[in-house]
Structure 1
Amino acid sequence: MTGSVTTMIIDILTGKFDIPAEEVSPDTVFDDLAVDSLALLEMSLILEKRLGVSISEGVLTSGQSVDEAARVVEALGAPAAVGPTAV
């Protein structure tokens, strides 16, 4: 279930990158939020630390939606059900 990882990505976008919550949904594409490659790399590092997976540079792209990114992260071995975390 991508819901938990999706929620985690949304939390990172709204908490770490100060994107208004009303602008972010599972269908939102990173490019529409002006999330650049540096921000995606930073998000990858945060997700690696929280989920214990290795995310290579370029795995998350600006053309992905939040939900697509969550599915990619889960395919790398991230647990499907993760608890709440602080940003």
Structure 2
Amino acid sequence: MTTSAPESTIDLIGAILIEMFEFPAEEIQGGTLMRDMLTDSLMVVEMAIVLHERLGIKVDEEELRALTLAEFAEVLDARITAR
């Protein structure tokens, strides 16, 4: 499991999961696949929109389906750094 993404990015994603989707905080872990937390296509689209609004970066919906939370946070951090 990859966990080198800064906690702040993981915390941000976790907070969105809790706020918007009422996902249980105790189940948010770096090794959990995003698709297991975003269980339908509307949730995936909403997460992509919220992350774009809050971070100003585009998120591919396939990334939200294929990556773990930690991997996805690393992708976001790389995009933020590259700006």
Structure 2 length normalisation: TM-score?
Answer: 0.74
Aligned counterpart in structure 1 of residue 48 of structure 2, from 20, 44, 47? 44
Conserved 8 A contact 1:35-1:62? no
Q: How far off its partner does 1:34 sit?
A: 5.0
Normalized per residue, which structure has more helix? 2
The match for 1:30 is: 34
Q: How far off its partner does 1:21 sit?
A: 0.7
Matched to 2:8, the amino acid is S
- Partner SS, residue 76 of structure 1: helix
| Cα separation, 1, equivalents of 2:47 and 2:76 | 11
- Partner SS, residue 31 of structure 2: coil
Q: Aligned residues, how many? A: 78
Instruction: Determine what percentage of the aligned residue pairs are the same residue.
Output: 31
RMSD between superposed Cα atoms in Å: 2.2
The match for 1:85 is: none
Change (3 A) 1:51 1:65: same
Structure 1 alignment gaps of length 5 or more = 80-87
Q: Runs of 4 or more off by more than 4 Å in structure 1?
A: none
Conserved 8 A contact 1:40-1:60? no
- Partner SS, residue 16 of structure 1: helix
